[in-house]
Structure 1
């Protein structure tokens, strides 16, 4: 067989999803990051891309940042432009579920294909370095006195830090509907607002804030975990008498309309990447907890999380 004929045949087989994993391993992956640069989804997607390359699971990875509406804008683009593409992946997570519940966008996660949950992380609440407040207790005292005067900054409406803020208000006897929450399109924008002192208190993934906490540009006052994080002295909300615990997980979805074989190949490709040294280094660097879950188990988990998150948000007065 002539070489050009062979290559055309190979391309046709790949498009049909008929090639074995070894052939798919050389895929040129297109990664949708439904947030602006600098946040958790951005860093997760780029860390996964690096692991895909270094493990040999992909030949190249390109990234497309499309922030806004808790990931719904990126999700809409992904669903509408990637149909049947066996090399397309999108980073998503708990924040996207919250955004769908509050924003009710015309697209839904059910239109894309679940691949795997990757990590879990807790949020940290921080104060700008020049804040007049020194602790969560002082912020709560002001919140009780004048809810609107406390400006909470974080990710999109429905993000885990938004939900946590509403839960905190409810727990301390303040109407969650009265909290003054400023939503940003991505972690980078939220961090800039905190550093600039444009919000009273900011929330986000611990990995996003770690650099600024270490250099004392932000003062950490609480984490949303049940116990203190490893190698951290930051107290939990529960330690401070506020019965709130909420985690933030992240995962990846594939395009709508791919075949079962293509889904299996993508899942195996991501599984290979998360076993790499590169991924282990990213987990350590960002203080992410590995939380691998794939296939129908992951799809069922997302459905369960959606129902649970909706119930929490209704209870917190957000829906």
Structure 2
């Protein structure tokens, strides 16, 4: 297995949010996978850097820690969305070095177990009848990935995105806690954040997954939005980047390590345990996907009037 760059010190993975959300899951996946593969003598250290749903961490790596070869930062398609419409200031996808996408996640529509809605169409009927009664929770502000998913669902119910009630939280963990407490009615999160929170006795109910087909595992019984007549699909890649001044040799070492790691049969098990679905990209293939998603998100940002 290719050695990691940066010597013998424990590598660091920065989750750019508070504990409990998708970024946390990504770092824990990397921590478990590298340790299982014997690539780290000490466990990968996970640091939490909330703020701006990724903006603070991105700025820190670009301006203050640009050459740290041993530091990974978790990203998702939500990070790319925020970059595409200016929520990271003047930053762009060209300001960091993209290392790997280790899996794909999908949006999920989550409500409390005591909710009156058993299906997505039932929620949409209630939303259309009285949009002020239903509040959407998300791990991000207006314009974030979870906000866009909320806006798409509201639109499917005939409600303009400007009229929907939206409550922003700093990360999925806080949003899920608010749903559990009954402070909000719907959480537009991701499968990786909720797959281990469902089942017998769960305080939650998943109404739909925003995938093109049903997901395996704990969410296998949850229908897609499309199955229920609502044409919304929201895949979200999850992966890692490093600072812009990390040397080429160290970037190549990370790339080689992830390529070998993700090709190993044991990795599929670790990925599944952390709620992600198969996707393995590095190098030019990863950059092509990032550029494509960036173009799509610019179009969405324009549609919803989010461009800064």
Q: CA offsets, 1:77-124, max 9 Å, x none?
A: 222232222211111010112223455323444221111111101121
Q: CA offsets, 1:167-194, max 9 Å, x none?
A: 1222333212222121211121111011
Aligned position for 2:77: 94
Over the residues paired in the alignment, what is the CA RMSD in angstroms?
Answer: 2.3
Query: So what's the TM-score if we normalise by structure 1?
Result: 0.86
Aligned position for 1:244: 232
Q: CA offsets, 1:119-141, max 9 Å, x none?
A: 10112111112223333223212
Q: After superposing the two structures, state which structure 1 stretch, 123-132 or 245-254, moved more.
A: 123-132
Pick from 274, 277, 298 the counterpart of residue 289 of structure 1. 277
Q: CA offsets, 1:203-253, max 9 Å, x none?
A: 212232123321331011111011121251211111222111111110110
Q: State the SS of the aligned residue for 1:245.
A: coil
Structure 1 spans left out of the alignment, 5+ residues: 1-19
CA displacement at 1:57 relative to structure 2: 2.2
Aligned position for 1:229: 215
Aligned position for 1:5: none
CA displacement at 1:24 relative to structure 2: 5.5
CA contact (8 A) 2:125 2:157 kept: no
State yes or no: 1:49 paired with 2:49: no
CA contact (8 A) 1:79 1:256 kept: yes
Larger radius of gyration: 1
Query: So what's the TM-score if we normalise by structure 2?
Result: 0.89
State yes or no: 1:261 paired with 2:243: no
CA displacement at 1:316 relative to structure 2: 4.6
Aligned position for 1:76: 59
CA displacement at 1:70 relative to structure 2: 2.0
CA contact (8 A) 1:119 1:289 kept: yes
| In 1, Cα distance between equivalents of 2:117 and 2:238 | 32
Aligned position for 1:85: 68
Structure 2 spans left out of the alignment, 5+ residues: none
Aligned position for 2:291: 303
Aligned position for 1:9: none
In structure 2, the CA distance between the partners of 1:293 and 1:25, relative to structure 1 (3 Å rule), is farther
| In 1, Cα distance between equivalents of 2:4 and 2:206 | 46
